[in-house]
Amino acid sequence: MSLRPAAVVTGSLAGLCALVLAAVPAQAAPRTDAPAAADGRAPLPVAHRGASAYAPENTLAAVDAAHALGIEWVENDVQRTKDGELVVLHDDNLARTTNVEQLFPDRAPWKVADFTAAEIARLDAGSWFAPRFAGQRVPTLEQYLRRLDRTGQNLLLEIKKPELYPGIEAEILRELRQEGWLDRRHVRDKLIVQSFGADSVRTVHRLAPDVKTGFLGTPAVGDLPRYAQFADQINPPHTALSAEYVREVHALKGPHGKPLEVFTWTVNDAETARRVAGMGVDGIISNNPDVIRDATRSASGEDAEEAREEAREEAEEAREEAEEAREDAREDAEEAREEARRGTATDTDSFVDSRLAGVGDLLRGVLPS
């Protein structure tokens, strides 16, 4: 029996460990044959009045329901009480979504503007939807913003019927500022103000030029350049939408120098969601935002992108394991070299063979079977 030279020991081990890295394959990204939206991304799902298919509209419960679904954007409606408080409610009267007729039977037609904030705070805004929501209140805008701060969600705020509430734009902006919603972070990423009233949108842009704004409606194509002076979005109902109209909107730049966006409403089924996504819309407002998200996400290829990211992470883990195997092999080679140099190994062949076998085990651990 003869001793192998140290160089042979080192070369054998180092050569084999080099095979570890060479043998780890670059993992190919999975294919997707699903059609993509216009820019390859799914439209943004927006919870209409909160997740209003699952909780009473415009309540804090609807905000929480959207949050539970993983929906980042919620839409609401803001009006003003008799004593000047801003409240979140869709209709300009309280009858449909509260028990106002029972509590105040002699106050018909129960207009929001005819009730004080304290009176509205007494109303039950949840029982009409389901018994488990009994006791939900009509939130003030302040309460609503604070809930969004707690959940981390973003707001598409609609100024509802601004013609009924002169000066409401400045009051909303004042409330947003007091609650910290006009700071750089919120204005850049977390807030859009929209309305059916073009003058109202124009006023918001004049008073707070940095705030992103949207006009609700379908202006004639020839009028779009005028709207682009004060609105960042044109937001038509899905029934009035066409791919050509979306292209005409996108061709213009808004007041912040970016292409106009299109958020369409109110889409509550997967088929319609895929149809308008194919037109290239940027957002879809829905009572069922999870249904919209799931339908358009699959069609846009975002699922495939997630799979590609997972594959990249797995490949990185394999490379890290291979590097660990190579380091272990280096240490074994150094140990073998030292023992061979000292001449203390009684059976260097067995020692080397055991180290090579160890590296082989590492190879089997990191290579796909």
Structural domain range at position 292: 44-300
* 20 and 149 together in one domain: no
Please state which of the ranges 175-189, 263-277, 354-368 shows the lowest mean pLDDT. 354-368
Give the separation between CA 58 and CA 70, rounded to whole angstroms: 17
Q: How confident is the model at residue 262 (pLDDT cuts 50, 70, 90)?
A: very high
Which residues on neighbouring strands pair with residue 192, listed in sequence order?
A: 156, 212
- Domain end residue (candidates: 300, 325, 341): 300
* 13 and 66 together in one domain: no
Percentage of the residues of the chain whose pLDDT score is greater than 70: 77
Q: Residue 174 has which token pair?
A: 């004042």
Contact by Cβ (8 Å): 163, 197: yes
* 10 and 124 together in one domain: no
On whether residue 60 sits in a domain, the answer given is yes
Please state which of the ranges 38-52, 133-147, 172-186, 228-242 shows the lowest mean pLDDT. 38-52
On whether residue 169 sits in a domain, the answer given is yes
- Domain end residue (candidates: 300, 328, 357): 300
> Which tops the pLDDT comparison, 368 or 105?
105
Contact by Cβ (8 Å): 282, 265: no
Q: Residue 362 has which token pair?
A: 């590492």
- Return all residues near 189 (Cβ < 8 A) that are at least 6 apart: 154
Mean pLDDT of 119-125: 98
Q: CA separation (Å) from 109 to 84, 125, 176?
A: 19, 17, 30
Give the separation between CA 131 and CA 262, rounded to whole angstroms: 37
> Which tops the pLDDT comparison, 297 or 74?
74
Give the separation between CA 149 and CA 308, rounded to whole angstroms: 33
Burial of 21 (0-12, 13-18, 19+ CB in 10 A): middle
On whether residue 33 sits in a domain, the answer given is no
Q: How confident is the model at residue 357 (pLDDT cuts 50, 70, 90)?
A: low
On whether residue 36 sits in a domain, the answer given is no
Contact by Cβ (8 Å): 124, 135: yes
Percentage of the residues of the chain whose pLDDT score is greater than 90: 69
Q: Per this entry, what is the length of the chain?
A: 369
pLDDT greater than 90 at residue 300: no
Which of the residues are catalytic? Answer: 48, 90
Give the separation between CA 260 and CA 251, rounded to whole angstroms: 7
On whether residue 54 sits in a domain, the answer given is yes
pLDDT greater than 90 at residue 291: yes
Which residues on neighbouring strands pair with residue 284, listed in sequence order?
A: 45, 264
Q: Give the pairing type, strands 73-80 and 86-88.
A: antiparallel
Which residues on neighbouring strands pair with residue 194, listed in sequence order?
A: 158, 214
pLDDT of residue 361: 55
Taking 3-state DSSP, the helix, strand and coil percentages for the chain, each rounded to the nearest 5, stand at: 50, 15, 40
pLDDT of residue 25: 38
- Quote the longest CA-to-CA distance of the chain: 111
Q: CA separation (Å) from 78 to 46, 148, 173, 179, 266?
A: 17, 15, 12, 15, 18
Return mean pLDDT, the chain: 85
On whether residue 266 sits in a domain, the answer given is yes
Claim: this prediction has a pTM higher than 0.75: no
Question: Tens digit of pLDDT for each residue in 174-192?
Answer: 999 999 999 999 999 999 9
On whether residue 39 sits in a domain, the answer given is no
Give the separation between CA 42 and CA 71, rounded to whole angstroms: 13
Please state which of the ranges 1-5, 85-89, 194-198, 276-280 shows the lowest mean pLDDT. 1-5
* 113 and 191 together in one domain: yes
CB environment 185-224: b (16+ within 10 A), e (fewer): ebbeebbbbbbbbbebbbbbbeebeebbbbbbbbbeeeeb
* 278 and 321 together in one domain: no
* 126 and 233 together in one domain: yes
Q: How confident is the model at residue 364 (pLDDT cuts 50, 70, 90)?
A: low
* 228 and 322 together in one domain: no
pLDDT greater than 80 at residue 28: no
- Domain end residue (candidates: 248, 267, 300): 300
pLDDT greater than 50 at residue 12: no
Mean pLDDT of 256-280: 98
Question: Tens digit of pLDDT for each residue in 241-258?
Answer: 999 999 999 999 999 999
pLDDT of residue 333: 72
* 76 and 195 together in one domain: yes
* 215 and 342 together in one domain: no
pLDDT greater than 60 at residue 235: yes
Q: CA separation (Å) from 248 to 214, 241, 243, 256, 272?
A: 16, 11, 9, 18, 21
Q: Give the pairing type, strands 263-264 and 191-195.
A: unpaired
CATH no. for residue 59? 3.20.20.190
Q: How confident is the model at residue 341 (pLDDT cuts 50, 70, 90)?
A: confident
The total number of structural domains in the chain stands at 2
pLDDT of residue 23: 39
Q: How confident is the model at residue 31 (pLDDT cuts 50, 70, 90)?
A: very low
pLDDT greater than 80 at residue 369: no
* 63 and 22 together in one domain: no
On whether residue 227 sits in a domain, the answer given is yes
pLDDT greater than 50 at residue 97: yes
Q: CA separation (Å) from 179 to 141, 191, 326?
A: 10, 13, 56
Give the separation between CA 78 and CA 145, rounded to whole angstroms: 12
pLDDT of residue 308: 54
pLDDT greater than 70 at residue 304: no
Q: How confident is the model at residue 332 (pLDDT cuts 50, 70, 90)?
A: confident
> Which tops the pLDDT comparison, 313 or 254?
254
* 275 and 337 together in one domain: no
* 241 and 180 together in one domain: yes
Cis bond upstream, residue 109 (ω within 30) = yes
